[in-house]
Chains A and B, each alone.
Chain A
Amino acid sequence: MAERRRVVPDCSVLVEAFLRPSKGSRYVRATQLVSEIRNERVVCFAPEILIFEFMKVTRDLIGGRRPQLASREEVDQQWNDFLKLSESIVYIPTMKLAAAAMTCCRDSDISAQDSWYLAAAEAYSAELWISHWHRDGFTVSASKAYGNVYTLDQNDFYFPTRKRKG
Chain B
Amino acid sequence: MAASKKIEKIDPPNWKEANIVQVDVRARNNIEAIIALDAWASSHGFARVHQNYLRVIVRPDGNNVYRGACYRWTDEERHSVHADTEAVFNRALRISRRAKQAS
Contact = CB atoms under 8 A, between A and B. Distances in A.
B56 interface: no
A91 B91 contact: no
B48 interface: yes
B73 A69 contact: no
A41 B73 CA distance: 11
A96 to B, nearest CB: 9
Contacts of A45: 31
A21 B96 contact: yes
B31 A124 contact: yes
A21 B42 CA distance: 30
Interface residues of B, number: 35
Interface string A113-148: 000000000001000000000000000000000000
Contact of B95 (A70, A90, A91, A124): A70
Contacts of A84: 84
A43 interface: yes
Nearest to A69: B99
A84 B3 CA distance: 27
For chain B, what secondary structure do more than half of its interface residues adopt (helix, strand, loop), or is it mixed?
Answer: helix
A1 B2 contact: yes
B59 interface: no
Nearest to A28: B89
A31 B95 contact: no
A31 B48 contact: no
Contacts of B39: 1-4
B43 interface: yes
A1 B31 contact: no
Interface stretch (A73-81, A149-157, A158-166): A73-81
Contacts of B35: 3, 6, 43, 124
A24 interface: no
Given A4-B42, A69-B98, 14 more contacts: A1-B40, A2-B39, A3-B3, A20-B92, A20-B99, A35-B81, A35-B85, A45-B31, A70-B95, A70-B99, A78-B91, A87-B50, A90-B34, A124-B35
